[in-house]
């Protein structure tokens, strides 16, 4: 069937512009009239989309036949079998190829001025230009046995990160993990720099300086011990004393109960639809994201028995109590009409994978073990040591159709696909008592640090903080079963919630909706607990220490927001306004909402601006005049926006122009409360409000007296918004009125 080579070969920086010449040489059969080849890339790849009409623009692609045969070319995002579905299709429409004739494809053809092809923004040791050949013109393609490939490597660091635990006893030793990332979020091994290291509390073992050397992806400083009670933060400073990174906060106390452990419980590798191997997946989570726990969750209909067994071997190898926890599991990927995506985490290896189908698994010897609907899945899992949570990806979990509280203890409200609070709202409406998790569902080989890159994944991948007795499978499994966890969109923060009762409440060991449940009497409850109480009022209190200034905190009871707390007052507002676009078109795959647009001022000017949740650097975000900002943006359930500093506090008019919302707002109308402009869909809207010029508040400790609703559950929880665009959710405390 022939051969294919690519030039040049070697290593190329992620997200850079390059030009490649792929040469296919026909084999013995040649290619007959109307035969074709496909050059395919993985679903996860975010290489620039090939275009054929603008020779001087990026991603310009040309094709020619060495013998003068006429070729037709088109690009389709889904013209081949997943995961190799992104397809450059080249058809011989006049003439044919004999053995030795060539088809030459130039990606990023520079001959007429194109800067090249913007290659994939994330790292991969073996990025393939996979070639499939239909030599006989039957549309039955043969994959070449040897594929041309390159290596994609990180760029130089532009951002530095410092990661530590979020709560420890004063006698505990701990570690501080440091790394540099390139502009696309790849941990970089091209670091060659020395920094000063400072802490706000007394820490034993801290060096005065730290040095990054080329070839290393990060630094781990241990053992450290904080000898003061308080909130510990580290600063990484340049030689000029410029702060280049501030660590996440760590609470240091004299007493400690459950300890927080951070995990990304949902991601994929190249054996299914992701990037890099399953071994690389686990190693990245442990060594580059510095997680405490991870779970590989491949699409079940693509997981062969051989790979399932290999995955069990890997989790057994990587799992080390007290160091790093790896759960075996998979994503049950049923069609939405049969229940939609669910994630299954097993406590132990050796369990059966109950697939939603064998769609991409040719070996049917175990097809009898399939569970084709969510109800069937719950039935076969009911006696197994596992936990399930509902997920939204391409498909979405329909928990109105199927749900089993014995197994499905939580819903995933955020992943790299977007933010989906409506799934939690579905649970409240149905009377389910679920916790909240957030993970990445990352496809780019970066669990725990899942930058979305430049594809339809519109959000940074999330994290789940599990409050457990110890770092073991059993400890984390118990935390997940009890809903003792909180979720973030990727930041690490300190968060605790508590309810205090006037009279002892019944603290149930299990959800009483399952039948009689054992209980103990308690005057307090923590996040995830389910209690019965005769109190008509309770004290709900929470404490948080965030990784960026707090924009707002919403105290919620189920579907109702009881109070919106801001750490600043009306009289501290300044010249800074915030424009937020958010929401989605609908629940399914086509949920993306385009917010391309502009903001224009009359009788005022923009002094400065900063984008919020802007991850795709291919999309424009620029100030083109002193009174005009333009952007390209989309949301998939979450939010983005712009923070703008104005020259005058109350002068002029702000005009926002997008396809969905066109508004003109007098500047003096913009205050602390949101001005909301609805655009249909699911919470699809633009919000505009004012903020202080400087907001230093990174902590809050609040007690709120709450009236208990009778005749229904009271699901008490908080949602915190940080200024940098990150969100944090506590799992609800469920109070059943008696």
165-187 pLDDT tens trace? 999 999 999 999 999 999 999 99
Residues 330 and 403 in one domain: yes
Cis preceding linkage at 737, omega within 30: no
179 CB contacts (<8 Å, ≥6 apart)? 160, 161, 163, 187, 188, 217, 218, 219, 288
Q: Compute CA distances 686 → 347, 383, 437, 517, 677, whole Å.
A: 43, 47, 26, 46, 5
- Interval 86-116: pLDDT, tens: 999 999 999 999 999 999 999 999 999 999 9
* Residue 457: per-residue pLDDT: 75
pLDDT for the residue numbered 503:
97
Same domain, 554 and 604: no
Count of CB atoms situated within 10 Å of the CB of 682: 17
- Can you tell me which residue has the tokens 């109590």? 321
pLDDT above 90 (res 458): no
In this predicted structure, what is the pLDDT of residue 421?
96
501-524, pLDDT tens digit by residue?
A: 999 999 999 999 998 889 999 999
Q: How far apart are CA 124 and CA 121, in angstroms?
A: 10
Exposed e or buried b for every residue in 308-325, given b needs 16+ CB within 10 A? bebbbebbeebbeeeebb
CATH number of the domain that residue 412 is part of: 3.20.20.140
Average pLDDT value over all residues in the chain: 96
pLDDT digits (tens, 9 = 90+) for 127-174: 999 999 999 999 999 999 999 999 999 999 999 999 999 999 999 999
| CATH number of the CATH domain containing 721 | 2.60.40.10
* pLDDT tier for residue 544 given thresholds of 50, 70 and 90: very high
Q: Determine the pLDDT at residue 394.
A: 82
355 and 234 part of one domain: no
- Alpha helical stretches, state H, 452-511: 473-481
Helix/strand/coil (H, E, C) string of 73-130? EEEECCCCCCCCCEEEEEEEEECCECCCCEEEEEECCHHHCCCCEECCCCCEEEEECE
pLDDT surpassing 90 at residue 455: no
Do 96 and 205 share a structural domain? no
And the tokens for 677? 């402009």
First to last CA, the chain: 74
608: which strand partners?
A: 645
372 and 426, same domain (yes or no): yes
Give the CATH number, domain containing residue 71.
2.60.40
Task: Decide if 86 contacts 45 (C-beta within 8 A).
Answer: yes
Q: Are residues 485 and 495 both part of a single domain?
A: no
Closest CA to 98 of 13, 195, 25: 25
Residue 279 has pLDDT above 90, yes or no: yes
pLDDT, one tens digit per residue, over 57-78 is: 999 999 999 999 999 999 999 9
pLDDT for the residue numbered 33: 95
Q: Would you state the pLDDT for residue 364?
A: 96
Alpha carbon distance 665, 687 (integer Å):
12
Pair 229, 276 in one domain: no
Q: Is 75 exposed, middle or buried (0-12, 13-18, 19+ CB in 10 A)?
A: middle
Structural domains in the chain (count): 5
How confident is the model over 389-442, as pLDDT tens digits? 999 988 899 999 999 999 999 999 999 999 999 999 999 999 999 999 999 999
Over residues 260-277, the mean pLDDT reads: 96
Q: Find out whether the peptide bond into 83 is cis, omega within 30 degrees of 0.
A: yes
**Contact by Cβ (8 Å): 388, 343:** yes
Looking at residue 246, which CATH number applies to its domain? 2.60.40.1930
pLDDT of residue 170: 95
Is the domain of 98 the same as that of 235? no
Give the DSSP letter string of 403-432: --TTTEEEEEEEETTEE-HHHHHHHHHHT-
pLDDT band at 586 (very low <50, low <70, confident <90, very high): confident
Helix 278-287 with 305-318: angle, nearest 10 deg: 20
- Asked which of 468, 490, 512 is the last residue of a domain, the reply is 490
- Of 153, 172, 190, which residue is a domain's last? 153
> Residue 177 is part of which domain span?
159-253
The pLDDT tens digits of the residues spanning 10-41 come to: 999 999 999 999 999 999 999 999 999 999 99
Name which of 171, 479, 170 is nearest 325 in CA terms: 479
């Amino acid at each position: 069937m022939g051969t294919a080579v690519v030039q040049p070969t070697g290593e190329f920086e992620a997200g850079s512009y390059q030009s490649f010449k792929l040469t296919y040489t026909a084999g013995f059969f040649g290619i007959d009239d109307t035969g074709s080849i496909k050059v395919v890339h993985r679903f996860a790849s975010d290489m620039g989309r090939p275009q054929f009409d603008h020779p001087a623009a990026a991603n310009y692609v040309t094709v020619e036949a060495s013998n003068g045969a006429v070729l037709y070319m088109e690009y389709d995002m889904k013209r081949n079998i997943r995961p190799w579905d992104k397809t450059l299709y080249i058809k011989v429409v006049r003439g044919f190829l004999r053995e030795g004739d060539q088809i030459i494809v130039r990606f990023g053809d520079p001959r007429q001025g194109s800067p090249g092809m913007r290659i994939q923004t994330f790292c991969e040791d073996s990025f393939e230009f996979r070639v499939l050949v239909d030599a006989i013109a039957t549309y039955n393609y043969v994959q070449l046995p040897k594929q041309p490939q390159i290596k994609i490597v990180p760029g130089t660091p532009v951002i530095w990160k410092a990661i530590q635990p979020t709560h420890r006893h004063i006698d505990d030793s701990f570690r501080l993990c440091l790394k540099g990332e390139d502009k696309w979020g790849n941990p970089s091994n091209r670091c060659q720099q020395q920094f000063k290291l400072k802490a706000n509390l007394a820490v034993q073992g801290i060096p005065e300086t730290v040095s990054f050397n080329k070839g290393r992806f990060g630094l781990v400083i241990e053992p450290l011990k904080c000898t003061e009670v308080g909130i510990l933060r580290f600063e990484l400073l340049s030689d000029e004393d410029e702060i280049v990174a501030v660590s996440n906060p760590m609470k240091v106390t004299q007493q400690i109960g459950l300890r927080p452990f951070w995990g990304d419980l949902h991601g994929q590798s190249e054996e299914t639809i992701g990037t890099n191997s399953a071994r690389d997946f686990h190693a990245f989570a442990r060594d580059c994201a510095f997680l405490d726990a991870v779970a590989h969750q491949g699409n079940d209909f693509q997981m062969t028995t051989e790979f399932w067994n290999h995955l069990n071997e890997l989790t057994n190898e990587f799992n080390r109590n007290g160091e790093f926890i790896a759960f075996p599991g998979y994503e049950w990927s049923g069609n939405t009409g049969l229940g939609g995506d669910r994630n299954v985490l097993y406590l132990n290896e050796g369990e059966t994978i109950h697939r939603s189908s064998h769609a991409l698994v040719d070996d049917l010897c175990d097809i009898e073990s399939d569970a084709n609907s969510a109800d069937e899945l719950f039935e076969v899992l009911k006696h197994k040591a596992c936990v399930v949570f509902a997920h939204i990806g391409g498909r979405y979990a329909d928990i109105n159709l199927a749900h089993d509280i014995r197994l499905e203890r939580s819903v995933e409200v955020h992943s790299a696909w977007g933010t989906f609070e409506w799934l939690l709202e579905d649970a409240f409406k149905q009377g389910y008592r679920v916790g909240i998790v957030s993970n990445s569902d990352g496809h780019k080989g970066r669990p725990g640090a899942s930058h979305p890159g430049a594809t339809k994944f519109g959000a940074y991948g999330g994290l789940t903080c599990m409050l457990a007795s110890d770092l073991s499978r059993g400890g984390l499994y118990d935390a997940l079963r009890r809903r003792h966890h909180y979720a973030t969109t990727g930041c690490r923060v300190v968060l605790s919630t508590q309810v205090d009762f006037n009279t002892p409440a019944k603290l149930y060991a299990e959800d009483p909706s399952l039948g009689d449940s054992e209980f103990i009497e308690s005057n307090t409850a923590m996040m995830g607990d389910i209690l019965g109480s005769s109190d008509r009022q309770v004290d709900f209190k929470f404490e948080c220490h965030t990784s960026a200034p707090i924009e707002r905190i919403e105290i919620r009871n189920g579907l109702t927001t009881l109070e919106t707390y801001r750490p600043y007052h009306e009289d501290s507002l300044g010249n800074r306004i915030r424009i937020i676009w958010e929401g989605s078109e609908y629940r399914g795959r086509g949920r993306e909402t385009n917010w391309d647009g502009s903001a224009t001022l009359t009788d005022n000017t923009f002094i400065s601006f900063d984008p919020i949740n802007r991850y795709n650097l291919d999309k424009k975000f620029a100030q083109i005049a002193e009174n005009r900002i333009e952007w390209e943006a989309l949301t998939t359930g979450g939010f983005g926006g712009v923070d703008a500093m104005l020259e005058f506090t109350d002068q002029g008019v702000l005009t926002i122009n997008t396809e969905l919302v066109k508004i003109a707002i007098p500047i003096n109308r913009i205050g602390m409360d949101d001005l909301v402009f609805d655009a249909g869909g699911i919470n699809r809207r633009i919000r505009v409000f004012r903020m202080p010029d400087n907001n230093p508040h990174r902590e809050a400790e609040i007690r709120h007296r709450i009236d208990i609703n009778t005749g229904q559950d009271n699901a008490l929880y908080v949602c915190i918004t940080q200024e940098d665009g990150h969100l944090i959710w506590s799992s609800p405390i469920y109070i059943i009125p008696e």
